[in-house]
Amino acid sequence: MKTLSLSAPSRHGEIINSTPTRSHRTKRASSFALLSAFTVFLASGCGREAAPPVPIAVEEAPGKLAEAVSQEQNPEVKKLLDEAADVMRRKDYGQGLLLLQALSGRSDLTPEHRDLVSRLLLAANKALTDQASSGDQRAQEILQFRRATK
């Protein structure tokens, strides 16, 4: 392999031989490999943002929550899930939203139940917003309280 030798004057007027030595080539190759690996690392993370949870129809909430209750082992979580199922069955979306919000803050939820709670929060919030827009004073107060305490 032929190497190209370039000579150029330095700032001080002396001529510098810029023929790359083996260590220069190795450093450049290492730098290039490191830069390439870093670029691949960054690119692999791009586009993999978690998609927002898909809401569940509010009518399905009581059944989904009852199913979660039957699978849950923790008595505290089981009680909250059961209460949430009950209020959602009664279409008390304000109370349901507050219970689901309390559940979402728990660290002992299974990943499946955390996903369910996130999706149900969206459904309950939409239902409560719909109630508030149709003039339901209690729904409006709950939404104002929620905004103030976020």
Tokens of residue 133, six digits:
């827009």
Tokens of residue 83, six digits:
């209460």
Give residue-wise pLDDT tens across range 102-141: 999 999 999 999 999 999 999 999 999 999 999 999 999 9
Do both 65 and 101 map to the same domain? yes
First to last CA, the chain: 67
**What global pTM score does this model have?**
0.63
Residue 50 lies in a domain: no
Question: Phi, psi at residue 9, to the nearest 5°?
Answer: -75, 140
Contact criterion met (CB below 8 Å) for 99 and 83 = yes
Give residue-wise pLDDT tens across range 22-61: 565 566 655 555 555 555 555 555 555 667 777 789 999 9
Tokens of residue 1, six digits:
């392999």
Task: Tell me the residue length of the chain.
Answer: 150
Do both 62 and 41 map to the same domain? no
Full residue range of the structural domain in which residue 108 is found: 58-149
Do both 15 and 80 map to the same domain? no
Give residue-wise pLDDT tens across range 79-101: 999 999 999 999 999 999 999 99
Say what the pLDDT of residue 7 is.
Answer: 52
Contact criterion met (CB below 8 Å) for 5 and 18 = yes
Do both 30 and 78 map to the same domain? no
Give residue-wise pLDDT tens across range 130-141: 999 999 999 999
Say what the pLDDT of residue 115 is.
Answer: 93
Count of CA atoms in the C-beta half-sphere (13 A) of 84:
32
Say what the pLDDT of residue 103 is.
Answer: 93
Looking at residue 60, what DSSP letter applies? G
Q: Tell me the H-state helices in the chain.
A: 22-45, 61-71, 75-89, 93-104, 111-133, 137-149
